[in-house]
Structure 1
Amino acid sequence: MSINISDKLTTPLIIIIVFAILSIMVLTPVLNMVILGIILSLGVRPVARRLNNKIPSASLSNILGMLLIIIPIILLLVYIVTMSISLISSLLGSTGNLSTLDMNQLNTWIASILPYQYKGMSHSIANGIYNGFNSIFKWLSSYLISLIRDIPNISVQILVLIFTTFYFARDGDKCWDYIFSFIPDRKTSFFDRMFNQIKDVLKSIFYGHVLTSIIIGIIAFVGYSLLGYSYSGFLGVITGICQLIPVIGPWPVYCILAVKDFFAGNYIRLILVVIFGCGLSLSDMYIRPAIAGKYADIHPLILLLGFIAGPLVMGIVGFILGPLILGVASAVIKAYKEEKEFENQNENNDNVLEIEQ
């Protein structure tokens, strides 16, 4: 049966399409923050609803819900920055002021901490560290300059993120009800399946990756403390953050610790930290599927590609939006497949009834 497109494209529909395209064009500079705000609102809403049982104001309960989620993140960032400054200060305390640090000073300091049999390597190590410091310093300088230039843009992005999170957490139900009012009755079952699949994907990504990173970070903190490493809390946090990125994982942290133990001559702890690190990496293969599998059945390759390609396309926000977009696309296709199977089953049942009659 042929479909006459001109009959479908009525004047109101054309106007809606035109303004929808224009709206997307207007929102393009902040679209990432809008999507991220919608995602964060899904985490704020359950907290806000519990608070709303004790606080009559929906707006106040949503603000408190946002603070309960944002404040731990801010405290974590402050802790990371503070510990990083402390580590740099301790390094400078051993080597002198960074501005007066030269190759001879660095070579002398490295030779003083190396075992006798490795003292001949001090010059090459010092050269690599010195060049690495210069490269990092140049990158940080250019990055800070670009951040200063982008302060107005960053401020706008943060404001959009805050307001989007707040209003979708407070009025998200009204938004979905408004969207569903345009859906024909015969298609409601498909959209119900689709939104249920999307919710499962969101829960799977959050619990399967965020909770796994928290668990790995706690295990790493306990392990590093038992092995006697300084700054074990900081190392646990960094391990948990690295765990968020499937391609990286926790191995850079324990590999660096193993190299440090090698040059310090602490071979027993080197072996122990390598064994512990391998066990930490292998535990991810059990913890992540066990948690994520309770909410959605998503192939690991889909999320892996999202984590890899997302940051390349959308920057650091892509670590969240990349797997989310691919996961939602998978959920939509799965919902459509289930809807078609349901329709085919109904048709087959109708045909059987007709034959029996």
Structure 2
Amino acid sequence: MGINIKDNLTPPILLVIFLLTISLIFIFPVLNMIVLGMILAYGVRHVARKIQSKIRFESVSILLSMVLILMPLILLIIYISMELSGIISGFLASNSYSDINSSLTSIASYIPLEFDVNSMSASINSSLHEIGSYILNHLVNFLSSLMNITLNLFILVCSVFYFARDGDKCLKFVRSFVPADSIHFFDRTVDAIKGVLRSIFYGHFLTSVIIGIFGAIGYSILGYPYGIFLGVITGILQLIPVFGPWPIYWGLFFADILGGNYPRALTVLLFGFFLSTVDMYIRPALSSRYADIHPLILLIGFLSGPLVYGIVGFIVGPLVLGITYAVLDNYRHEYLMEDE
């Protein structure tokens, strides 16, 4: 028996669809901050419950947990911006032409082919200055859009607070619209989404923190300037499965080769291989404990997410695809396999 769409599209339903469409248009520019707030609120709730056992007031415990979770992220962004600005400014102010020229001259002595060292070093130096100027200009433009950034941060903070405080009410509100014969499917889907969140957090973010700490300690012991900063960047790159920490340790390897420090070049290369090997063991061990999701799904989410939502897409992308897979898998077990 077919479904009569005309009978189902009653005036109340049409009004609801219209209002939902208009509302989505209004919130779409800040939808990424709202979604990110929902994700962070899930972690804030767990911390808030532990704090609330010692503090009676729920709002105070949520605010304290937000400070414990969000402040390190904000301080990390400020730290990276300040370090990058200092590194680029120092590089542009210094005269690195002679260092590059001497390094290329030393390498040329081992190569049988002849080439113009001065021309090549000038080209490399010019390219490095152009790259540094581009990054510095990008940072200046980033700071000039501070008003928009402040608005997004305000929406993010408000979203985290209210979802952490009233998340259960929001879930019950949505659950009230679910038909009685689909309640079990809805509850299992919510549990699957929680598993995806835990899998992404423990399997990817916690792994990146561990790799970043290892990197900061290793680079500092090896005597690299900005060792902690290099460790932070290594941890951030670890979130991107295609990249991982290899751009950092390979860059340091070639820098040491150019500088003639061959023992340290070999050491940092071996250390980088150690970081990659540790990731191969830690990430699957942590992820598989909470959700059985194919790595390709999360990989596509990490790569395509930033194209849609910018830097926030590194979190939203794998989350959306992971949740989609979990919902489809839950639907398959709930309705399709049940009928076989």
AA aligned to 1:256 is: G
Contact residue 115 and residue 263 of structure 1 kept, 8 A: no
Aligned to 2:259: 264
Residue 301 (structure 1) aligned with residue 296 (structure 2) = yes
Aligned to 2:54: 54
CA distance in 2, matches of 1:312, 1:333: 24
Greater shift, 276-285 or 192-201, is seen at: 276-285
CA distance in 2, matches of 1:141, 1:230: 24
Greater shift, 266-275 or 236-245, is seen at: 266-275
Contact residue 88 and residue 136 of structure 2 kept, 8 A: no
Aligned to 2:309: 314
CA distance in 2, matches of 1:190, 1:213: 34
Residue 202 (structure 1) aligned with residue 197 (structure 2) = yes
Contact residue 219 and residue 231 of structure 2 kept, 8 A: yes
Residue 126 of structure 1: how far off its partner (Å): 3.6
Contact residue 33 and residue 157 of structure 1 kept, 8 A: yes
Which structure 2 segments of 5+ residues have no match?
A: 110-115
Pick one of 210, 218, 225 that aligns with 1:230. Answer: 225
Residues 121, 278 of structure 1: CA spacing in aligned structure 2 closer, same or farther, 3 A cutoff?
farther
Pick one of 123, 129, 132 that aligns with 2:125. Answer: 129
CA distance in 2, matches of 1:316, 1:272: 32
Contact residue 110 and residue 122 of structure 1 kept, 8 A: no
Residues 228, 253 of structure 1: CA spacing in aligned structure 2 closer, same or farther, 3 A cutoff?
same
CA distance in 1, matches of 2:20, 2:293: 31
Aligned to 2:209: 214
Aligned runs of 1:1-357 on 2, under 5 Å? 1-88=1-88, 91=91, 97=93, 105-112=95-102, 116-118=106-108, 121=117, 123-141=119-137, 144-145=140-141, 147-148=143-144, 150-341=145-336, 343-344=338-339
AA aligned to 1:252 is: P
Aligned to 2:112: none
Contact residue 107 and residue 122 of structure 1 kept, 8 A: no
Contact residue 203 and residue 295 of structure 1 kept, 8 A: yes
Contact residue 301 and residue 317 of structure 2 kept, 8 A: yes
CA distance in 2, matches of 1:74, 1:7: 52
CA distance in 2, matches of 1:70, 1:322: 20
Contact residue 32 and residue 317 of structure 1 kept, 8 A: yes
CA distance in 2, matches of 1:268, 1:206: 37
CA distance in 2, matches of 1:226, 1:158: 36
After superposition, give the CA deviation of every residue in 1:113-156 in whole Å (9 maximum; x if it has no partner).
667454873542342232232243145325533652x3333222
Greater shift, 105-114 or 182-191, is seen at: 105-114
Q: CA RMSD in A?
A: 2.3
CA distance in 2, matches of 1:343, 1:56: 46
Count of residues paired in the alignment: 334
Q: Scaled by the length of structure 2, what TM-score is found? A: 0.90
CA distance in 2, matches of 1:76, 1:67: 13
CA distance in 1, matches of 2:319, 2:99: 48
AA aligned to 1:185 is: A
CA distance in 1, matches of 2:253, 2:142: 35
